[in-house]
């Protein structure tokens, strides 16, 4: 495998709106991020992915871009952005922006021009169809609910939006659209970006000609997955994008890829793949139901283990996946993957180590390093996210009570991850001196960065040790490039694996409150990391405490 500059890095996702507010307007901003770069450097972060901060009406929190060449004034200015890139560089850090090119905003000038002249150049930037009374062009359900078709204002046409109606899909079949995208990517890379996280990219290739699919809910609509499964040829677009942009700059790219076809993996992330890496969502999609969040099955520790190993077996050394515990679209991993009632510093550290030591690139989402948890929403009025509002309605329509519907929102709402970063125990978690755009999680009084920074036993300090271990010259080769071999796989509530390279490491986590013992094939040489102060051994038998995790050199 050709070695790449990013293989041994550790990445961190910032959700700018909720990270740090520098001017008291209640909205996180780029100067706020700059002021926290040292916090991230101290943690050991190399790569920072910024969720979108381009000019946007923020209908989907910036994933609806109205100007790809501008920064939204709520987040700062282009000078701030240039300064962020430069300040990161000074600290040997790289900035990634979010590339949102399946769709733009309905306030983008391309869309406005398409409304003015749907048969002209810009009409062909979108998917437009003639409007027929009482009949939609297709029966596809948008990811955020309702039909994917909306009237094109001022015309007798309708436009396609797989996401929100304020996010019209761009027509990638049109070479002019692709040229615009490549031009923009290169413009940003010329500014010195490290690369991009690539949003919702699997959606850019539609199955043509459009047709209806089997309805899967009482609304008579069909999930978009069925159309995407049928679409082939995305590789032509992605390969072209790689060659025209990332490749020339040796830039880093991480794809948000769901339901790729298994035999396409090498094309996506193999040598000369479309992307450097892509996220592993196997755990996040586990248990999901076509009916909606209210119907999703919970994930157990054994399921979690199975999901992780499944991905590892699938990828092997084809390339590098990016491993996450959570992101801005998911609930907090601590609340999701740790059995109810057992969320505590030990279990959070165990989850961290089990995930972090997997083969691949670790991504930390803001606040994960503090062990931030889901929000105890007391009413749907406390929720802002459009996807949660839709899912609340879906649950009610399916016959759930308000409490049941709210429970599904508590479990899955994207706002669980979008509350302000918990910096201190002071008012508003130290995120803003003004009124925060979204209420902080009330547990900021006990879970916050300032109380964890100097505490050697805090969750954050544990993350810091994990990162330091990954960078330790003695173990780096094994942790970055070594193979992964599951061990004691059938043991209930135990997740353990070897990492084998020039060293052999054993990672073992007792995924329950009760103790459980394991017998090592040989005595270990050294304890590299332990979330308890001690280790209970007799010969080669180790009795693991509740949620104890060990990283041992064998």
In the complex, which residues of this chain contact ligand GLC (CB under 6 A)? Answer: 60, 63, 100, 163, 199-200, 256, 328-329
Q: Is the peptide bond before 98 cis (omega within 30 degrees of 0)?
A: no
Of 35 and 401, nearer to Ca ion (C-beta) is: 35
Tokens for 17, please give them. Answer: 């709106």
Of 163 and 246, nearer to ligand GLC (C-beta) is: 163
> From the list ligand GLC, Ca ion, none, which binds 25 (C-beta under 5 to 8 Å, kind-based)?
Ca ion
For the bound state, the minimum distance from the C-beta of residue 380 to ligand GLC, rounded and expressed in Å, comes to 19
Give the Å distances, CA to CA, from 281 to 103, 206, 263: 22, 22, 17
For the bound state, the minimum distance from the C-beta of residue 21 to Ca ion, rounded and expressed in Å, comes to 4
For the bound state, the minimum distance from the C-beta of residue 518 to ligand GLC, rounded and expressed in Å, comes to 38
> From the list ligand GLC, Ca ion, none, which binds 364 (C-beta under 5 to 8 Å, kind-based)?
none
Of 29 and 98, nearer to Ca ion (C-beta) is: 29
> From the list ligand GLC, Ca ion, none, which binds 60 (C-beta under 5 to 8 Å, kind-based)?
ligand GLC
> From the list ligand GLC, Ca ion, none, which binds 21 (C-beta under 5 to 8 Å, kind-based)?
Ca ion
> From the list ligand GLC, Ca ion, none, which binds 63 (C-beta under 5 to 8 Å, kind-based)?
ligand GLC
Of 375 and 505, nearer to ligand GLC (C-beta) is: 375
For the bound state, the minimum distance from the C-beta of residue 75 to ligand GLC, rounded and expressed in Å, comes to 16
> From the list Ca ion, ligand GLC, none, which binds 29 (C-beta under 5 to 8 Å, kind-based)?
Ca ion
Phi, psi of 336 (to 5 degrees): -85, -45
Question: Within positions 9 to 48, which residues make up the interface with Ca ion, using CB under 5 A?
Answer: 21, 23, 25, 27, 29
Residues 95, 81: Cα–Cα separation, whole Å: 10
Residues 500, 35: Cα–Cα separation, whole Å: 39
**Is 82 annotated as catalytic?**
no
Terminus-to-terminus CA distance in the chain, angstroms?
26
Of 256 and 346, nearer to ligand GLC (C-beta) is: 256
Tokens for 70, please give them. Answer: 């501008």
Task: Provide DSSP, 30-64.
Answer: HHHHHHTHHHHHHHT--EEEEPP-EE---TTTTSS
| Long-range contacts formed by 238-245: CB under 8 A, 24+ apart | 238/201, 238/268, 238/274, 238/275, 239/267, 239/274, 240/178, 241/178, 241/181, 241/182, 241/185, 241/274, 242/273, 242/274, 242/275, 244/182, 244/186, 245/182, 245/185, 245/186, 245/189
Tokens for 125, please give them. Answer: 């930037």
> From the list ligand GLC, Ca ion, none, which binds 280 (C-beta under 5 to 8 Å, kind-based)?
none
Question: Within positions 240 to 299, which residues make up the interface with Ca ion, using CB under 5 A?
Answer: none
Residues 421, 398: Cα–Cα separation, whole Å: 34
Of 14 and 352, nearer to Ca ion (C-beta) is: 14
Cα–Cα–Cα angle for 60, 65, 70, rounded to 5 degrees: 135
For the bound state, the minimum distance from the C-beta of residue 59 to ligand GLC, rounded and expressed in Å, comes to 10
Q: Which residues of 309-343 are buried (b: 16+ CB within 10 A; e: fewer)?
A: bebbeebeebbbbbbbbbbbbbbbbbbbbbbeebb
Q: Of all residues in this chain, which one has the CB nearest to Ca ion in the complex?
A: 29
Of 29 and 169, nearer to ligand GLC (C-beta) is: 169
For the bound state, the minimum distance from the C-beta of residue 420 to Ca ion, rounded and expressed in Å, comes to 11
For the bound state, the minimum distance from the C-beta of residue 390 to ligand GLC, rounded and expressed in Å, comes to 11
For the bound state, the minimum distance from the C-beta of residue 540 to ligand GLC, rounded and expressed in Å, comes to 45
Q: Of all residues in this chain, which one has the CB nearest to ligand GLC in the complex?
A: 63
**Pairing between β-strand 149-151 and β-strand 157-160 as defined by DSSP bridges:** antiparallel
Q: Which of 433, 213, 395 is nearest to 294 (CA)?
A: 395
Which conformational region is residue 278 in: left (phi greater than 0), alpha (psi within -120 to 50 degrees), or beta? Answer: beta
Residues 463, 241: Cα–Cα separation, whole Å: 35
For the bound state, the minimum distance from the C-beta of residue 27 to Ca ion, rounded and expressed in Å, comes to 4
Give the Å distances, CA to CA, from 74 to 55, 67, 326, 506: 9, 14, 25, 47
Alpha helices by DSSP H, 7-143:
30-35, 37-43, 78-90, 109-116
Total binding residues toward Ca ion, as defined by CB under 5 A: 5
> From the list Ca ion, ligand GLC, none, which binds 100 (C-beta under 5 to 8 Å, kind-based)?
ligand GLC
Q: What are residue 49's DSSP bridge partners?
A: 13, 96
> From the list Ca ion, ligand GLC, none, which binds 163 (C-beta under 5 to 8 Å, kind-based)?
ligand GLC
Q: Which of 134, 110, 106, 137 is nearest to 208 (CA)?
A: 137
Whether residue 314 contacts residue 268, with contact meaning beta carbons closer than 8 Å, is answered with no
Catalytic-role residue among 72, 169, 199, 346: 199
HEC assignment per residue over 455-472: CCCCHHHHHHHHHHHHHC
**Is 256 annotated as catalytic?**
yes
Catalytic-role residue among 98, 256, 280, 346: 256
Q: Which of 19, 3, 17 is nearest to 369 (CA)?
A: 19
Of 238 and 508, nearer to ligand GLC (C-beta) is: 238
For the bound state, the minimum distance from the C-beta of residue 13 to Ca ion, rounded and expressed in Å, comes to 19
Of 414 and 460, nearer to ligand GLC (C-beta) is: 414
> From the list ligand GLC, Ca ion, none, which binds 23 (C-beta under 5 to 8 Å, kind-based)?
Ca ion
Of 426 and 457, nearer to Ca ion (C-beta) is: 426
Active site residues: 199, 256
The residues that touch Ca ion, with contacts defined as CB under 5 A, are 21, 23, 25, 27, 29
């Amino acid at each position: 495998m050709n070695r790449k500059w990013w293989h041994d890095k550790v990445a961190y996702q910032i959700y700018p709106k909720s990270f740090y507010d520098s001017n008291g307007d209640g909205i996180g901003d780029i100067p706020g991020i700059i002021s926290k770069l040292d916090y991230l450097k101290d943690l050991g972060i190399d790569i920072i992915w910024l969720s979108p901060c381009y000019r946007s009406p923020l209908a989907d929190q910036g994933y609806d871009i109205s100007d790809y060449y501008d920064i939204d004034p709520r987040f700062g200015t282009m000078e701030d952005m240039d300064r962020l890139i430069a300040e990161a560089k000074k600290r040997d850090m790289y900035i990634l922006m979010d590339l949102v090119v399946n769709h733009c905003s309905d306030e983008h000038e391309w869309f406005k021009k398409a409304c003015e002249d749907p048969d002209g150049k810009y009409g062909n930037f979108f998917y437009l169809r003639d409007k027929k009374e009482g009949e939609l062009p297709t029966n596809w359900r948008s990811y955020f609910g309702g039909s994917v078709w909306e009237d094109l204002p001022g015309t007798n046409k309708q436009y396609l939006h797989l996401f929100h109606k304020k996010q019209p899909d761009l027509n990638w079949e049109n070479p002019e659209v692709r040229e615009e995208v490549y031009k923009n990517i290169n413009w940003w890379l010329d500014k010195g970006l490290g690369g991009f996280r690539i949003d919702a990219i699997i959606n850019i290739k539609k199955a043509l000609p459009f047709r209806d699919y089997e309805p899967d809910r009482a609304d008579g609509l069909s999930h978009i997955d069925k159309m995407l499964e049928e679409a082939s040829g995305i590789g032509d677009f992605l390969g072209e994008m790689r060659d025209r942009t990332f490749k020339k700059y040796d830039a880093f790219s991480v794809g948000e890829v769901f339901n790729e076809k298994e035999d396409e993996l090498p094309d996506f992330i193999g040598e000369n793949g479309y992307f450097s890496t892509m996220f592993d969502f196997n755990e996040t999609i586990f248990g999901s139901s076509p009916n909606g969040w209210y119907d999703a099955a919970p994930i157990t520790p054994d399921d979690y283990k199975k999901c992780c190993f499944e991905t590892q077996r699938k990828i092997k050394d084809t390339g590098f996946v990016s491993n996450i515990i959570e992101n801005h679209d998911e609930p907090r991993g601590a609340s999701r993957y740790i059995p109810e009632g057992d969320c505590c510093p030990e279990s959070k550290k165990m989850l961290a180590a089990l995930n972090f030591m997997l083969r691949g690139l670790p991504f930390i989402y803001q606040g994960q390093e503090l062990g931030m948890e889901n929000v105890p929403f007391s009413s749907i009025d406390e929720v802002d996210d459009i996807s949660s509002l839709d899912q609340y309605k879906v649950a009610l329509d399916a016959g759930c009570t308000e409490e049941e519907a709210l429970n599904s929102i508590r479990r899955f709402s994207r706002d669980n991850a979008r509350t302000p970063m918990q910096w201190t125990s002071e008012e508003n978690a130290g995120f803003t001196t003004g009124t925060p755009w979204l209420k902080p999680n009330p547990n900021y009084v006990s879970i916050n960065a300032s109380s964890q920074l100097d505490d050697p036993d805090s969750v954050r300090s544990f993350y810091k040790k994990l990162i330091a271990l990954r960078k330790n010259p003695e173990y780096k080769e094994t942790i970055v490039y070594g193979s992964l071999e599951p061990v004691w796989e059938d043991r209930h509530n135990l997740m353990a694996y070897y990492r084998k390279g020039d060293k052999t490491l054993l990672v073992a986590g007792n995924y329950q409150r009760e103790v459980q013992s394991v017998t090592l094939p040989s005595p270990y040489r050294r304890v590299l990391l332990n979330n308890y102060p001690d280790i209970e051994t007799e010969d080669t038998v180790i009795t693991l405490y509740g949620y104890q995790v060990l990283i041992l050199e064998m």
